[in-house]
Chains A and B, each alone.
Chain A
Amino acid sequence: MIIKRRLKIFFTIISALVIAAITYAQFTDNAQSDEKNRTSKITYKNYIWIEGENAVSTNFAREPIYNFFCSNKFALQLSKDVDPPQDGYFATYVFYVTHTKEYDFWMGCTPPGSAYKDRPGYASPIEWQIDNGPFQTASAENVYVKSFYGIGGFYWVKIASGTLNAGKHTLTIRVKQKRSSGWDYYFYVDAILLLPQYSTGIAQLMDFPEVAPKDFATPGDGILFNAPEFYEKKLRANISDREALFSLVQIYGWLYDYNKAIFLLKKYLEKNPRDLDMRLELAAFYSWSDQLDAAISEYKNIIAIDEKNITARKLLSVLAGWNNRYDEAIKYYQEIIAIDPENVDAYISLGTQYSWKGEMNRAIATFEKAETIAPSNIEVLEVLGDNYYWAGRAYDAIRQYYRIIDINEKQISAYKKLAKIYLDLGESAKAARIINDAKQVVDLYPELSGISLDVKDELAKERRALIDSYKEALVKNPDDVNLRKGLVDTYIWNRMYGDAVKEYDALLAYKMFHSIEQAEQKVTRLAIHTVGLQSLMPLIKTIKDDGSIIKKRYAKLIDDKKKGKAVIEPSSLASDKATLEWYNAKLKEIQKELYVYNDITAAFGKDVQTYTAMQAATGWHFESDRIYRYAATAKKLNPQMYQPYKVQGTIDLLYDKPSNAVSSFELVKKLAAGAEFPGLPLAYAQTKKYNEAIALLEESLQSKKVSATYKNDIEQMLSLVKLSKGEVSSQSSLQVTTQKK
C-alpha cells in the first residue's frame, strides 16, 4: 500500500515536472524573443559594409595591418615607392546588392589627394570601377571628406552616388599615381559603405559598426587639407589652435613626420594637459616611431587623468600584448575588469591573452565567466566555441555553435564553423547538412545575400577565376614577370602560401632568364669572338707544330754556323722561309683579333670586380644546382619554353660540360630557331666541332633574329676563320716536305 502510494506520488511529481518543463520552455521562448524584440536598435541593415581588408584580390600589401581604431581592427594599406604594374596597384571586392536602389558610396580611408601635382595630396588619388564600367577618378577635387574617425588618418569620404542593380557586383579600387605631397603610392582603406539614398531616417534605427559616421549629411565642401605651412603658421601664432594642430598632425602622420607631430603635440599638451584625445594621438605617434616606453607612459598619463578611460587602458593592454608582454597585458585587462566588472569586451581580450599565452584552461574559464555575464552575446559564445575547439573539446564547441544558431539563425559563421568541425571529425554528411541549412537561411533572408557569396563558395569561385585568368594570361606570355608578381600577390593575399612559393620559384626562374638574356646581349660579342678564336685553334697548333719542326730542322745548321763550321743551305730554306712569312702574316691577323678580344673582356672587368666584392661581402656563391632546379621547375610549367634549356646549356658551358651544352642548345634551336645563338656555336667550338660552329655563324648572318649589332663582329670572325682554310694546304705541303726528308 505504501509502495503504491509512493509510486503514485512519484509519477505525479514526474508528470508535473514534464508538463512544467514543456510549458516553461514555451513561455521562456516567447519571453526571450520578446526581450530580443525590445532592443533599441533594429537588427535589419539596409546598407552594405565591406571591410577594406576583405579584398578578394589585391597587390596593395601582402596582409592586412592591425589598427585598434579601424573597423574590425584591421585595414588594407598601400604604401610603396616602387612603380606598380601596368594596371596599377589594385584591390578588388565582391559584394551583393539585394535591392536595386540609388546608393551613396562611402569609404573609410585616407582622404584621396589631389590629382594635380602642384596641389597638396597626402594620399594618392584613386580610381574606382564597378563591374565592367569605366574607371572613375576620386581625388581631393571631387570627393567629400566628412569626418575623422580613426587615429592613423582615417576619415569618412563620400566618393560618389549612383544606382546599383540587385545582384553580384565587383568593386575595384586602383592607384596609378603617386601622392603629390609624397614620393610614394599611398592609400589606406579601412571600410567601404554603400548606403541607400534617402535612408537617413532608418540609419538612426540601424546598428552600424562603431566607426561608422554618426550621420550622413554632407553640408558645405567637407574637410579640405592645405599645405603644412598653412597650419604651421597658425600654430606659430597660437599653439592651442586645436583644429589646425589636429589637421597638421594627421598630415605629419601621412608623411611619416612622426617627430614633428610629437614635438607639436607635446607643446600643445603643455598648455592643454587634459586634452585626452590629443594624448591618444601622441601615444600613437610614439608607438609608430618605435618609442614603446614613451607610448606606454603616455597611456598611463591618460589613465592618471581619467582613471576610467577604458580606451587608454585597452590600448595599453594591446600594446603590451602585441609586444609579447602577455603578463602585463593580462594585468591591464584585469584592471579594466576591476573598474568595470561587466565589461564583456575586456573579458574577451583577457581570455584572448591567455589563449595566446597557451593557457587554454584559463582562457576558457575567462570566456565562460563572460558568458555568465552576457549569455546571449554572440561574440562571447563564438569566442568560447573557438577556444573549446582549439583546446580539443570539439563537442563542447559544437554545442556552443548550435546555441548561437538557436539565438540567431542568421549567424552564418556558426554554420561554417560547425561544418568545419564535423569535417574534422570525419562526419562529412553532417557537415554537408549544416552547409545546406546555411544556404536555406541565406535564401530566406535577403539581407544575408552578401554572406551567401561566402557560404555558396562564390568568393572562392571569384578567387579561382582570378587565379585562372592569371594562368591563362601566363600561357600566352609565360615570361611576363608582372603577371607572375600579380599571381604571387593573389596567392599570398588569399593565404595560399604553398602555391605562392611555387609561383615564386617560377618567378625567380623567369627573372633569372630575363637577367641572363639581358647579360647575354653583353656577352654575345665575347662569344662570337671566342668562337672565332677557338676555330683558329687548329691553325695555331699547326703554326706551333711547323715552327717546332722548322726550328729542329735548322737547329744544327745554326749551331754549326755559330761554331764557324761550313754550312750548306738546305734546299727547303726558301719554302720554309715563305711558310714562316705566311704564318707570320696570319699571326699578325690573330694578334689584331686578340687586341679586339682584350678590349671586349676589359668591359667585364667591373662586373668581375663587383661579383668578387659581393661574394666576399655576403659569402654568396653561385650555385649551379639551384639554377638547374629553377630550370627544371620552368620546364615542368611549360615544356615548350626554350629558356630553361638555354639556361642549362649556359651553365654547362660555364662548368666545362660542353657536350651537355651542345644537347641543350640543340633543343633550344628546335623549340625556337635563332634563340640558340650564340650558345650553340660556342658549345660546338668547345667540343672542337669548328665547322659546325662556323656554319652556324654563317647561318646567323641570314637570320633576322640575330641583331644587326653583331653583324660586323660575325663578318670579322668569318674572315679571320678563312685564315685556317689557306693553312690546310700549307700544312700539308710542309708535312709532305717533312716526309720527303
Chain B
Amino acid sequence: MKKIFIFILLIFISCGQLIKQSPQKDYERIYKNLTNAESLENPVQKDKLINKAYTLLMQRQAELIKEKKSDTTVAALLAYYYYLKGNYQDASSQVELASSPSGNNQLGAIIQARVLLSTKGKAGAQGALDILRAVEGLDNPMAFIAMGDAYFLKADYDKARDNYTKALLLNRELQVVAANRLEVISRIKTLSINVAKVSDFILEPTMTRDKLAYILYEIFELQKYIATAKPLDANFIDLEKSQYKSAIVSLRQKGFFSYIQGSAFEPFMVVSRGEMAKLVEDFLVLSRNNEGLRSKFKNESPPFFNDIKNDNEYYNAMRLAVDMGIMTASLSQDAYPDESVTGLQAIMILQKLVK
C-alpha cells in the first residue's frame, strides 16, 4: 500500500512538473514583443513593446539571481533588446554571455551576426554569413533576414531575395521586416548605378550630411554635370571627424551646400526632405547655370503644398523638386520638409536627378 502511495506521489510530482509553466512561455512572450517592436515604424509603439520586453527580462533575471542560476536565453534576448536599441556594445556583451558556457544559443548567434552587419556593413557580411551557417538549417525567420541582409550588403540580391522570401513564407514573426526588404530589392532593381557601391547605405534608416556628400560625389558624380562652378568657402571647422571630408570640400567648391552658412558643416546631421530638396535645387541651379530657379515658385499662390506656405525656407526647393518629378509630395499634398530621408530614398532621388 505504501509503495502505491509513493508511486502516486511520484506521478503527481512528475505531472506537476509537466504542467508547471516553464520560463519558455515567458521567453516566447518577450521574443514576440521584441520581434513585433522591430516590425513597427511608430517609435512610441516600438518603445512600448521594447520596454515591456525589458521589464519581463528583468523580472526573469531577478528570479535567476534568486535561484543562483544563469540562462543563456535571457542573455540572448537581452542582446536582441540592446540590438534594437542600437546599443551594439552591450548587445555584443550579452551575445558573449549567451554563447557561454554551454554555447549553441541560436538567437545569440543570429544577433551576433546582425550586430556585425550593423557595425561593419559590407565588410562584416561574410563574417555574418559564417556565423549564420550554424543556424542555416533552422526555419528561423530572423536567421533568414540576417542572411538576406548579409547577401544584400554583398550585393547578391537574388540570394538576399530568396532568404527574405523564406522568412516571409514561414508565416511567423518579422514578416513585415522581410516584406519591406523585398520591396527595397524591387526598388533598387530600377537603379542604373552600380548598386554594390551603395549597398552599405541603402538600408540606412537615415542619411547624414557627410554620407550624402560621399554618394553625391563618388557614386553619382554630380560635379561632372556642373557647367559653371560657383565656389563657396569650404573651410569648415568640423570636417576632421568625417571620413568623407574630401567629397564635402569638393562639392562645396563647386557650389553645393549653398544653404549652409557659417563655419560649421555638422557632417553627422541627419538630412531632412527639405535639405535634400535644397541639394536638388543647388544641382539644378549649378548644372543649368540658372540662379532664377531659386525663386521660381517663391510667389506661388495659392501654395501648392498643404503643410508649408511659400515663405517657408524649403518651399521653392521642394516645389521645384516636385515639379520636376524628382521628389514626390504626399497623397495629401504635404511636403513634410522636416521628415528624415532614408538611404534608399536619397539614392532614388539622386537617380531621378541625374536622369
Where the two chains meet, the residues of A that have a C-beta atom closer than 8 Å to any C-beta of B are: 4, 7-8, 11-12, 14-15, 18-19, 22, 36-37, 39, 42-44, 46, 98-103, 105, 129-134, 136, 160-167, 169, 196-202, 205, 443-447
Query: Do B169 and A444 have beta carbons less than 8 Å apart?
Result: no
B196 at the interface (CB under 8 A from A): no
Measured CB to CB, the nearest residue on chain A to B176 is: A446
Query: Do B4 and A15 have beta carbons less than 8 Å apart?
Result: no
Contacting residues, chain B, for A102 (C-beta < 8 A): 328
* Cross-interface CB contact of B331 among A160, A198, A444, cutoff 8 Å: A160
Contacting residues, chain A, for B328 (C-beta < 8 A): 102, 161-163
B168 at the interface (CB under 8 A from A): yes
Which residues 4-21 of B have a CB within 8 angstroms of A? 4, 7-8, 11, 14-15, 18-19
Contacting residues, chain A, for B336 (C-beta < 8 A): 163, 165
Interface stretch, picked from B181-189, B237-245, B283-291, is B181-189
* Cross-interface CB contact of B330 among A7, A43, A98, A130, cutoff 8 Å: A130
B294 at the interface (CB under 8 A from A): no
Query: Do B330 and A165 have beta carbons less than 8 Å apart?
Result: yes
Given contacts A37-B172, A443-B48, contact A198 B187 (CB under 8 A): yes
* Cross-interface CB contact of A8 among B7, B18, B175, B182, cutoff 8 Å: B7
Contacting residues, chain A, for B4 (C-beta < 8 A): 4, 7-8, 11
A690 CA to B150 CA in the complex, in Å? Answer: 101
B119 at the interface (CB under 8 A from A): no
Query: Do A444 and B36 have beta carbons less than 8 Å apart?
Result: yes
Contacting residues, chain B, for A166 (C-beta < 8 A): 41-42
Query: Do B331 and A446 have beta carbons less than 8 Å apart?
Result: no
Within the complex, the shortest CB–CB distance from B148 to chain A, in Å, comes to 14
1/0 contact trace for B317-355 toward A, CB 8 Å?
Answer: 000000000001111111010010000000000000000
A163 CA to B176 CA in the complex, in Å? Answer: 18
Query: Do B41 and A162 have beta carbons less than 8 Å apart?
Result: no
Within the complex, the shortest CB–CB distance from B43 to chain A, in Å, comes to 10
Contacting residues, chain B, for A200 (C-beta < 8 A): 186
Query: Do B8 and A196 have beta carbons less than 8 Å apart?
Result: no
Query: Do A199 and B330 have beta carbons less than 8 Å apart?
Result: no
B270 at the interface (CB under 8 A from A): no
Contacting residues, chain A, for B182 (C-beta < 8 A): 199, 201-202
Query: Do A99 and B36 have beta carbons less than 8 Å apart?
Result: no
Given contacts A42-B171, A44-B171, contact A447 B18 (CB under 8 A): no
Query: Do A130 and B331 have beta carbons less than 8 Å apart?
Result: yes
A259 CA to B139 CA in the complex, in Å? Answer: 60
B45 at the interface (CB under 8 A from A): yes
Apart from A4-B1, A18-B15, what 18 extra A-B contacts exist at CB < 8 Å? A19-B14, A22-B18, A42-B169, A42-B171, A42-B175, A44-B171, A98-B41, A99-B180, A101-B183, A130-B332, A130-B333, A133-B306, A165-B330, A199-B186, A201-B186, A202-B168, A443-B48, A444-B36
1/0 contact trace for B165-180 toward A, CB 8 Å?
Answer: 1001111100110011
Contacting residues, chain B, for A46 (C-beta < 8 A): 176, 179-180, 183
B118 at the interface (CB under 8 A from A): no
Where the two chains meet, the residues of B that have a C-beta atom closer than 8 Å to any C-beta of A are: 1, 4, 7-8, 11, 14-15, 18-19, 32-33, 36, 39-42, 45, 48-49, 139, 161, 165, 168-172, 175-176, 179-180, 182-187, 190, 306, 328-334, 336, 339
A99 CA to B18 CA in the complex, in Å? Answer: 42
Within the complex, the shortest CB–CB distance from A443 to chain B, in Å, comes to 6
Query: Do A202 and B187 have beta carbons less than 8 Å apart?
Result: no
Taking each of B4, B180, B183, which has the highest tally of chain A beta carbons within 10 Å of its own beta carbon? B183
Count A-B pairs with CB separation below 8 Å: 139
* Cross-interface CB contact of B7 among A11, A134, A199, cutoff 8 Å: A11
Within the complex, the shortest CB–CB distance from B161 to chain A, in Å, comes to 8
Within the complex, the shortest CB–CB distance from A123 to chain B, in Å, comes to 22
Contacting residues, chain A, for B41 (C-beta < 8 A): 98-100, 166, 446
Given contacts A8-B4, A202-B182, contact A133 B45 (CB under 8 A): no
Measured CB to CB, the nearest residue on chain A to B3 is: A8
Query: Do A205 and B332 have beta carbons less than 8 Å apart?
Result: no
Measured CB to CB, the nearest residue on chain B to A7 is: B4
* Cross-interface CB contact of A162 among B168, B180, B190, B329, cutoff 8 Å: B329
* Cross-interface CB contact of B333 among A4, A134, A198, cutoff 8 Å: A134
Given contacts A15-B15, A98-B41, contact A443 B168 (CB under 8 A): no
Within the complex, the shortest CB–CB distance from A96 to chain B, in Å, comes to 10
Query: Do B175 and A44 have beta carbons less than 8 Å apart?
Result: yes
* Cross-interface CB contact of B11 among A15, A22, A443, cutoff 8 Å: A15
Contacting residues, chain B, for A165 (C-beta < 8 A): 330, 334, 336, 339
Within the complex, the shortest CB–CB distance from B152 to chain A, in Å, comes to 15
Within the complex, the shortest CB–CB distance from A452 to chain B, in Å, comes to 10
A-B contact pairs, 12 of them (CB 8 A): A11-B8, A43-B175, A44-B168, A46-B176, A46-B179, A100-B41, A102-B328, A103-B331, A163-B328, A199-B179, A201-B186, A443-B48
A445 CA to B49 CA in the complex, in Å? Answer: 11
Given contacts A37-B170, A100-B41, A201-B186, contact A447 B333 (CB under 8 A): no
A199 CA to B32 CA in the complex, in Å? Answer: 26
Contacting residues, chain B, for A167 (C-beta < 8 A): 42
Within the complex, the shortest CB–CB distance from A516 to chain B, in Å, comes to 42
Contacting residues, chain A, for B49 (C-beta < 8 A): 443-444
Within the complex, the shortest CB–CB distance from B165 to chain A, in Å, comes to 7
Measured CB to CB, the nearest residue on chain A to B18 is: A22
Contacting residues, chain A, for B45 (C-beta < 8 A): 443, 446
Within the complex, the shortest CB–CB distance from B22 to chain A, in Å, comes to 11
Chain A to chain B: the 5 pairs with minimum beta-carbon distance, closest first: A133-B332, A44-B175, A162-B331, A130-B332, A198-B186
Taking each of A22, A44, A98, A162, which has the highest tally of chain B beta carbons within 10 Å of its own beta carbon? A44
* Cross-interface CB contact of A446 among B32, B36, B161, B332, cutoff 8 Å: B36
Within the complex, the shortest CB–CB distance from B175 to chain A, in Å, comes to 4
Query: Do B306 and A446 have beta carbons less than 8 Å apart?
Result: no
Query: Do B183 and A133 have beta carbons less than 8 Å apart?
Result: no
Contacting residues, chain A, for B33 (C-beta < 8 A): 444
Query: Do B331 and A202 have beta carbons less than 8 Å apart?
Result: no
Query: Do A205 and B11 have beta carbons less than 8 Å apart?
Result: no
Measured CB to CB, the nearest residue on chain B to A43 is: B171
Query: Do A132 and B48 have beta carbons less than 8 Å apart?
Result: no
A7 CA to B165 CA in the complex, in Å? Answer: 57
Contacting residues, chain A, for B333 (C-beta < 8 A): 130, 133-134, 136
A102 CA to B170 CA in the complex, in Å? Answer: 26
Contacting residues, chain B, for A19 (C-beta < 8 A): 14-15, 18
Within the complex, the shortest CB–CB distance from B47 to chain A, in Å, comes to 12
Within the complex, the shortest CB–CB distance from B328 to chain A, in Å, comes to 6
A201 CA to B187 CA in the complex, in Å? Answer: 11
Contacting residues, chain A, for B185 (C-beta < 8 A): 201
A46 CA to B14 CA in the complex, in Å? Answer: 46
Query: Do A444 and B32 have beta carbons less than 8 Å apart?
Result: yes
A488 CA to B141 CA in the complex, in Å? Answer: 51
Query: Do A205 and B169 have beta carbons less than 8 Å apart?
Result: yes
Given contacts A4-B4, A100-B41, contact A164 B330 (CB under 8 A): yes
A129 CA to B334 CA in the complex, in Å? Answer: 12
A211 CA to B169 CA in the complex, in Å? Answer: 23
Contacting residues, chain A, for B1 (C-beta < 8 A): 4
Contacting residues, chain A, for B175 (C-beta < 8 A): 42-44
Contacting residues, chain B, for A4 (C-beta < 8 A): 1, 4
Within the complex, the shortest CB–CB distance from B217 to chain A, in Å, comes to 27
Query: Do B15 and A39 have beta carbons less than 8 Å apart?
Result: no
Within the complex, the shortest CB–CB distance from B326 to chain A, in Å, comes to 14
Taking each of B41, B172, B329, which has the highest tally of chain A beta carbons within 10 Å of its own beta carbon? B41
A22 CA to B190 CA in the complex, in Å? Answer: 53
A371 CA to B176 CA in the complex, in Å? Answer: 32
Within the complex, the shortest CB–CB distance from B329 to chain A, in Å, comes to 7
Taking each of B165, B175, B339, which has the highest tally of chain A beta carbons within 10 Å of its own beta carbon? B175
Within the complex, the shortest CB–CB distance from A40 to chain B, in Å, comes to 9
A404 CA to B112 CA in the complex, in Å? Answer: 38
A102 CA to B11 CA in the complex, in Å? Answer: 61
Contacting residues, chain B, for A161 (C-beta < 8 A): 328
Query: Do A446 and B7 have beta carbons less than 8 Å apart?
Result: no
Measured CB to CB, the nearest residue on chain B to A40 is: B169
